[in-house]
Structure 1
Amino acid sequence: MRFFSLFAIFAIFELAYGIPEESYLAEHARLVEPFYENGESGTVKTRDDVSIFYKIFSHPDGKVHVLISHGWTEDTKKYDEVAYDLYQHGISTYILDYRGFGQSQRITEDPHISYIESYSDYLKDLDAFIGKVIRPRIGDAPLMALGHSMGSNILSIYAVENPQSFRKMVLVSPMLDIVTPYPERISWLISEFFSVIGLGDQYIPKHGPYKGDRPNLVTNSEVRFNKWMTDMRANSAMAVSGASFAWSAASLEATWRMKDDASKLKIPLFILQAGDDALVETEGQDYVCKRARNCFKMVFPNAKHELLHEKDIVRDKVIAEVVDYLLNFNF
């Protein structure tokens, strides 16, 4: 059974996590935006010559280093508030835009579609970021990892292939089962068929180019969701709004691989599960956590997919748990 450290118990009551929703826009502009803009920006080339954008928020006294792996349609900017929160606790963060997202290089002419033939390409992005950017800065210091949804899946596959890469991992609403209109195998067959006949870079049904808005299926915090929509409209060239057949097939294959390889996950693993998740099924999360060597799971029953961007009452608890785990808790 997991217990809070004494530090974390006091932290929950004495420290504010994030900025409150009632003054969100003003406080975000006053505190988070300057923090994000002052972070180190850069690009790194992968071994297949793709340019990957990243941001670094290095704490001068920080001894804990955390790589943040974003979810589908997201980018570094989406995690400005998360990086700001962790920085307040002496945690340095390192965030990359995977290929096809944010300010990283696009693989297709349409900048709004997510396209990938295999998740091995995302692993190349991660490998270049860790090997060429993070490790030269932190040396042999332990590296933690925090992933959301698709980003959790990428981290998990990377950790199986590189078991010494991370000291601990936090997986938030990991994409280990995808909600699909048909059974997963049928959805894969459809996506794979269109990929084989040369239409892998086309949108799957009901997906399409970015039109400036989307329905909120991901959080109970309207102010945080609306802020993200505003950011996307201001940078519409970087907005990703739909999945390709190739990305769909590759993503399903990646979830199956993680279930097959769950017992190979040996590092301490903390899964945060959203009870009202409309995008991923929780069965895959349960399956992986039961079979991983060292996994603890926490459920937030009424929360939606984006736990790191939820209403304050949920998000404060999520951030407190993440901070406690990264700074103090050992299995």
Structure 2
Amino acid sequence: MFYSCSEQLESHLPEIDKHWQQCQRGFFDTPHGKLFYVYHIPKRPRFALVLVNGRIESAHKYRELLWELAQNNIAVYTYDHPGQGYSPRLLKNKHIGYVKRFDDYAATLHCFMQQVVNPHNTLPLFILAHSMGGAITCNYLALYNPSNIKGVYLSAPMLGINTAPYPAWVAEAIAGLACLVGLGKQYAIGQQQYQSKPFQDNDLTNCPIRYALFRGLYDQYPELRLGGVSFAWLYTALQKCRALTKIELNIPVRVACATHDSIVDNKAQIRFAAHHDKVTRTEFAGKHELLCEQDITRRAVLRDFYEFTGVLPSASDTGS
């Protein structure tokens, strides 16, 4: 089940990159322009998966996971959000993270489902979403109530944002005021252009090999780089995070929490799980990017994901 490990990752890179090149790719239509997508369907797929990535990310960054899922006969569909990855940027300064309304992300996911996923897929369908992708997915479920999703797995979901040193309500008030005076498209306080942080200063992962690959990819493809968020992004994202606790959920959802996360607010994940009967929660010792963590953590997350989708029997099923 676990084909990729960090110590052998370099030797697997030619095969991983070959798989990336063999994926079907193109652009689909949205109100925000033609957005980039990638998908791969193995010869004998078990089920299909929509991968919804996080802020500053791209489908290209997940090429290791796409390759590993293919080895497990899982069809994967993924895309780049408006304003990041290989999709068109929304502002003249291409490094500023911006969206006018957070609902625009859910509308984009709906377009992706309608134009790319549904026409090609007849398999049981799950969603695997990371960070901001988790908030987008929950909002998509609330707004569009899709009937073909069997379950959703959320990796370190952005159900709340770590706005330290300010409380979230103060950050939201400041961002809202900035938008009112016409600064919505400017960097929020403390945000800046893309910077490649050294490994020892990063908040994303404890795995130096996967971190180096991530930074190396963005060095090789500068068009993938994205900097900090705008006041508009921060304001609409904080508003949406508050609203997500109250949404209705009719399908199973698993929340994977990174215990050493400094990017999102884990307390918001706890509140979200407590509010919904369909939500279960698991904890993993790692930083924010659980799917790019050290092998011991990453494999535990993937095992939990495979159990959630029914690929592996759960501990309760086996009696262990």
Question: Does TM-score exceed 0.5, indicating one fold?
Answer: yes
- Residue in 2 that maps onto 1:238: 224
- Residue in 1 that maps onto 2:135: 153
- Cα offset, 1:111, TM superposition: 1.3
- The 1:156/1:279 distance shift into structure 2, 3 A limit, reads same
Stretches of structure 1 lacking an aligned partner (at least 5 in a row): 1-14
Q: Deviations over 1:225-251 (max 9, x none)?
A: 111001011111221121111011111
C-alpha distance in 2 between matches for 1:323 and 1:79: 17
Residue 57 of structure 1 is aligned with which of 32, 37, 40?
A: 40
Structure 1 residue 25 corresponds to structure 2 residue 10: yes
- Residue in 2 that maps onto 1:12: none
Checking the alignment, whether the CA contact within 8 Å between 1:152 and 1:175 is kept in structure 2 is yes
Residue 178 of structure 2 is aligned with which of 194, 217, 220?
A: 194
Stretches of structure 2 lacking an aligned partner (at least 5 in a row): none
- Superposition CA RMSD, Å: 1.7
- Cα offset, 1:142, TM superposition: 2.8
- Cα offset, 1:213, TM superposition: 4.1
Checking the alignment, whether the CA contact within 8 Å between 2:159 and 2:241 is kept in structure 1 is yes
SS at match of 2:181: helix
- Residue in 2 that maps onto 1:221: 207
SS at match of 1:198: coil
- Residue in 2 that maps onto 1:250: 236
- The 1:20/1:63 distance shift into structure 2, 3 A limit, reads closer
TM-score under structure 2 length normalisation: 0.92
- Residue in 2 that maps onto 1:296: 280
Checking the alignment, whether the CA contact within 8 Å between 2:261 and 2:288 is kept in structure 1 is yes
Checking the alignment, whether the CA contact within 8 Å between 1:111 and 1:238 is kept in structure 2 is no
TM-score under structure 1 length normalisation: 0.89
Structure 1 residue 274 corresponds to structure 2 residue 258: yes
Checking the alignment, whether the CA contact within 8 Å between 2:86 and 2:223 is kept in structure 1 is no
1:1-331 aligned at under 5 Å gives the runs 15=1, 17-27=2-12, 29-46=13-30, 48-139=31-122, 141-163=123-145, 164-181=147-164, 182-213=166-197, 215-261=201-247, 264-300=248-284, 302-328=285-311
- Cα offset, 1:86, TM superposition: 1.4
- Cα offset, 1:58, TM superposition: 1.1
Count of residues paired in the alignment: 310
C-alpha distance in 2 between matches for 1:18 and 1:279: 28
Q: Sequence identity, in percent?
A: 26
- The 1:219/1:211 distance shift into structure 2, 3 A limit, reads closer
